[in-house]
């Protein structure tokens, strides 16, 4: 069985200079009632923010756990922590693929040291739990800000009313602002899709679920790449062709996923019919993409250089990563489209 991904691959350099890595390949140091990471202190927003950023979980302060979601590697709960509402993600130890679940937990911490209005922030994380705890079957526990119960998937497919151009472009700009920030810090999300974009009560989109993410060189926007990991994560309907072919990872993989997500916002349709294997093959071999003909926002515009949602979507999901725009360029295009009547 291959070794776990090295912690230096998954965590920012600030995290690991003083780490003592044991046989579990975990950068966490075990204590009696909590676990701590040697990380730089940063402040949060809200009441919990009165404390410095810390990866120590004070279990007695974690109360009122209520499950609100589940996935292949774990479950998400709504809870209170020091009296504030937060989200708790528990990564299962009993997954069919133990290596993948362990990698998923550490990947979740790639953006833990960062703060941005369009990225869900991490409050604390630990691999250890109090003795005789119901958490003993988990690889790790992550505390995060609680954004709410809505995500873009619910909004796109759960309403009878179309979103409209302004809303589509505003939500898209939120996502791309988050991506621009992540890419500037060398983080590629690798699983951008509507279900992984939460929408706050203030109608602000926030990127969540970094279980497939990877840290690349900080100059990634300038073209540096990271070799593609075997069994790279993500959702097949949104996965860039170069990842399907086992080629190098760049931030442009997130731009491809965003292109599919933007198409979903506009059309409110599922990307592909057919079975998974057919779709994966056709995306690479035949440049398969979702249809563009029916929606007014996706119809061709007059003029060779005319910017439209259609041209932006097509550029984002180009089969060649080098032909896709950067997050900064996508944001400029979205702002231009938003400024038009």
Is 51 annotated in a binding site? The answer is: no
CA distance 287 to 300: 19
CA distance 201 to 150: 9
CB 110 within 8 A of CB 100: no
Out of 84, 161, 166, 191, the active site residue is 191
Of the candidates 229, 241, 244, the residue with the CA atom closest to the CA atom of residue 318: 241
Of the candidates 267, 117, 90, 270, the residue with the CA atom closest to the CA atom of residue 193: 270
Say whether 161 is catalytic.
no
What are 242's two structure tokens? 């170069």
Where do the H-state alpha helices sit in the chain? 7-10, 98-107, 152-157, 165-184, 241-244, 252-267, 276-285, 309-316, 327-339
Neighbours of 298 (CB within 10 A): 21
CA distance 26 to 5: 10
Cα separations (Å) of 271 from 192, 267, 290?
14, 9, 5
CA distance 282 to 133: 47
Residues with catalytic function: 191
Binding positions are: 90
Binding positions for ATP are: 90
């Amino acid at each position: 069985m291959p070794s776990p991904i090295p912690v230096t691959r998954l965590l920012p350099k600030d995290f690991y200079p003083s780490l003592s890595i044991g046989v579990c390949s975990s950068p966490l140091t075990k204590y009696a009632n909590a676990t701590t990471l040697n990380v730089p202190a940063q402040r949060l927003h809200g009441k919990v923010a009165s404390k410095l950023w810390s990866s120590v979980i004070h279990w007695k302060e974690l109360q009122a756990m209520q499950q609100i979601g589940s996935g292949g590697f774990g479950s998400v709960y709504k809870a209170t922590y020091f009296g504030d509402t937060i989200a708790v993600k528990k990564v299962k130890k009993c997954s069919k693929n133990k290596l993948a679940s362990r990698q998923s937990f550490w990947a979740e911490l790639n953006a833990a040291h960062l703060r941005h209005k369009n990225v869900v922030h991490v409050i604390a994380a630990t691999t250890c739990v109090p003795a005789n705890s119901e958490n003993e079957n988990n690889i790790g526990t992550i505390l995060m800000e609680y954004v709410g119960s809505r995500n873009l998937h619910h909004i796109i497919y759960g309403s009878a009313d179309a979103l409209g151009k302004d809303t589509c472009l505003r939500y898209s700009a939120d996502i791309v602002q988050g991506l621009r920030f992540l890419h500037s810090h060398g983080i590629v999300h690798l699983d951008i899709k509507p279900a992984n974009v939460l929408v706050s009560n203030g109608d602000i989109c926030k990127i969540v679920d970094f279980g497939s993410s990877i840290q690349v060189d900080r100059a990634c926007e300038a073209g540096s790449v990271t070799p593609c990991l075997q069994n790279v994560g993500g959702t097949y309907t949104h996965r860039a062709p170069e990842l399907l072919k086992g080629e190098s990872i760049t931030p442009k993989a997130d731009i491809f996923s965003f292109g599919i997500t933007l198409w979903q916002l506009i059309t409110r349709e599922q990307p592909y019919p057919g079975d998974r294997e057919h779709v994966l093959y056709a995306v690479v071999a035949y440049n398969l993409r979702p249809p563009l003909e029916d929606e007014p926002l996706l119809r061709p515009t007059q003029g060779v250089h005319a910017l439209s949602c259609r041209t932006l979507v097509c550029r984002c999901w180009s089969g060649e990563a080098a032909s896709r725009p950067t997050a900064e360029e996508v944001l400029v295009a979205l702002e231009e489209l938003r400024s038009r009547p």
